[in-house]
Amino acid sequence: MSEATPILEARSLVKILGGNRVLENVSLDIGRGRVKVLIGPSGAGKSTLLQCLNFLIPPDSGHILLEGREVEKTSKRELCAFRQQVGMIFQDFNLFDHLSALENVRVALMKVKGMSKLEATERAVAELKRVGLADKATLYPANLSGGQKQRVAIARALAMDPKVMLLDEPTSALDPELIGEVLTVIRDLAQAGMTMILATHQISFSASLADEFIFMERGRIVEQGSPADLLARGAQSRTQAFCSKISELTGESGQSGQSGESGQSGESGQSGESGKAGAERRL
């Protein structure tokens, strides 16, 4: 594989759900260490795309390549190996409620990666530490805040050593005051070189992080480019129009990616913007 080969590539993905073409010929690729952000209105197909990229739902047609090699979707063994390399983070965390934080992170290390309990425990502790939760290892999801649950989910995905992470609105289900702690972890991951595709409405945060914005509507990519270009004053892009609409709802500055505002201060909602997460969910 050459340096230029994308880590993950989707070619002409089509997905039909309930008789509707929810993804219409979607193609994208992402190189090592890059961050791409999916934006667009509710129902655009962002979640469907992320789930197709991970084969959680199989596309009806199209191709997915990992490091230049097409994934053989009929082989269970290959799909299992593929999913280990493409981590997925969901809006609603998807933790096992009957397992502690440590056990949530450890279980796949033992069952899928075949590690011994000792080895898996050491790795799980290290990953919980990385997301700032070393002291919460014994707690069950019921006793963790939403932000902590999402960080456990991120630790669990990281423990599998993924080559790319797909994050589907990871802060949408969180109370505003908990969003910042998850965004901080995502920023740390990006700075550590993790390749990520992220669906989010956290515009100023993602503008400061992303190499590219991908704007989707009705199952298609209708615009893509650097946040600086798409959000530049006078750009008149679809992305800009959409982002201004979000800003109106949340009070966030749609241009803030340009002004170097940090995601943490801009988006953590510490000032009690209680409408923000709600607006994010509504969009």
Ligand X SMILES: Nc1ncnc2c1ncn2[C@@H]1O[C@H](COP(=O)(O)OP(=O)(O)O)[C@@H](O)[C@H]1O
**Region class of 166: left (phi > 0), else alpha (psi between -120 and 50), else beta:** beta
Kindly tell me which residue out of 13, 22, 120, 230 binds ligand X, with binding defined by CB under 6 A.
22
Residues 97-136 that bind ligand X (CB under 6 A): none
Residues 174-233 that bind Mg ion (CB under 5 A): none
Compute and round to an integer the Cα radius of gyration of the chain: 18
Closest CA to 101 of 139, 157, 131: 139
CB of 41 to ligand X, least distance (A): 7
CB of 36 to ligand X, least distance (A): 15
Residues 141-200 that bind ligand X (CB under 6 A): none
Query: Total number of residues binding Mg ion (CB under 5 A)?
Result: 2
Q: 44 is in the binding site of which of ligand X, Mg ion, none (Cβ under 5 to 8 A by kind)?
A: ligand X
Q: Rank residues 42 and 116 by Cβ distance to ligand X and give the closer one.
A: 42
Q: Rank residues 36 and 136 by Cβ distance to ligand X and give the closer one.
A: 36
Q: 45 is in the binding site of which of ligand X, Mg ion, none (Cβ under 5 to 8 A by kind)?
A: ligand X
268 forms part of the interface with Mg ion (CB under 5 A)? no
- DSSP β-bridge partners for residue 86: 164
Residues 44-83 that bind Mg ion (CB under 5 A): 46-47
Query: How far is it, in rounded angstroms, from Cα 272 to Cα 258?
Result: 24
Residues 89, 168 contacting (CB under 8 angstroms): yes
DSSP state letter for 5: S
Query: How far is it, in rounded angstroms, from Cα 111 to Cα 15?
Result: 31
Residues 10, 64 contacting (CB under 8 angstroms): yes
Q: 246 is in the binding site of which of ligand X, Mg ion, none (Cβ under 5 to 8 A by kind)?
A: none
Binding marks (x or -) toward ligand X, 32..61, rule CB under 6 A? --------x-xxxxxxx-------------
Q: How many CB atoms lie within 10 A of CB 126?
A: 14
Q: 240 is in the binding site of which of Mg ion, ligand X, none (Cβ under 5 to 8 A by kind)?
A: none
- DSSP β-bridge partners for residue 223: 215
Q: Inter-axis angle of helices 146-159 and 176-191, to 10 degrees?
A: 20
18 forms part of the interface with ligand X (CB under 6 A)? yes
List Cβ neighbours of 111 (8 Å cut-off, separation of 6 or more). Answer: none
Q: Rank residues 41 and 132 by Cβ distance to ligand X and give the closer one.
A: 41
Binding marks (x or -) toward Mg ion, 10..49, rule CB under 5 A? ------------------------------------xx--
Residues 39, 216 contacting (CB under 8 angstroms): yes
Contacts with Mg ion, residue ranges (CB under 5 A): 46-47
Contacts with ligand X, residue ranges (CB under 6 A): 17-18, 20, 22, 40, 42-48
